[in-house]
């Protein structure tokens, strides 16, 4: 599952209490971020210097932030749900199901 940045779960409710709407938004973002990473894989593979690799990585990161924000989420909200899914197989499955709508 693509993780943007590792965050503390903080106030995240248990996975079973995460709304279907939030799961759908995060899952859709996950699917789109996977697509972004795949689209830039050739650029990353072709990068010959650390600076070039960093530039490609920064483009991917900015596009991922746009996708997350486009779902009406903050990066923190996205990361909280992803982190909660790491500890909750049911939530992870719900996210993967939502992500498949994009993939």
8 Å CB contact between 81 and 26:
yes
In this structure, is residue 12 part of a structural domain?
no
Structure tokens at 50: 């650390």
CA distance 49 to 84: 36
| Tens digits of residue pLDDT in 57-103 | 999 999 999 999 999 999 999 999 999 999 999 999 999 999 999 87
In this structure, is residue 10 part of a structural domain?
no
In this structure, is residue 9 part of a structural domain?
no
In this structure, is residue 41 part of a structural domain?
yes
Q: Which pTM does this prediction carry?
A: 0.81
How many domains does the chain divide into?
A: 1
CA distance 61 to 55: 10
Domain that holds residue 83: 17-99
Task: Write down the H helix ranges in the chain.
Answer: 20-46, 50-70, 75-86, 89-99
In this structure, is residue 89 part of a structural domain?
yes
pLDDT of residue 102: 85
In this structure, is residue 33 part of a structural domain?
yes
In this structure, is residue 43 part of a structural domain?
yes
């Amino acid at each position: 599952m693509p993780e943007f940045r590792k965050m503390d779960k903080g106030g995240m409710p248990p996975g079973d209490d995460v709304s279907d709407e939030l799961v759908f938004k995060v899952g859709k973002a996950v699917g789109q971020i996977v697509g972004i990473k795949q689209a830039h894989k050739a650029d990353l593979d072709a990068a010959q210097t650390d600076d070039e690799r960093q530039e490609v990585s920064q483009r991917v990161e900015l596009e991922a932030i746009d996708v997350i924000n486009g779902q009406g989420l903050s990066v923190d909200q996205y990361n909280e749900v992803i982190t909660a899914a790491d500890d909750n197989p049911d939530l992870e499955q719900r996210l993967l199901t939502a992500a498949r709508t994009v993939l």
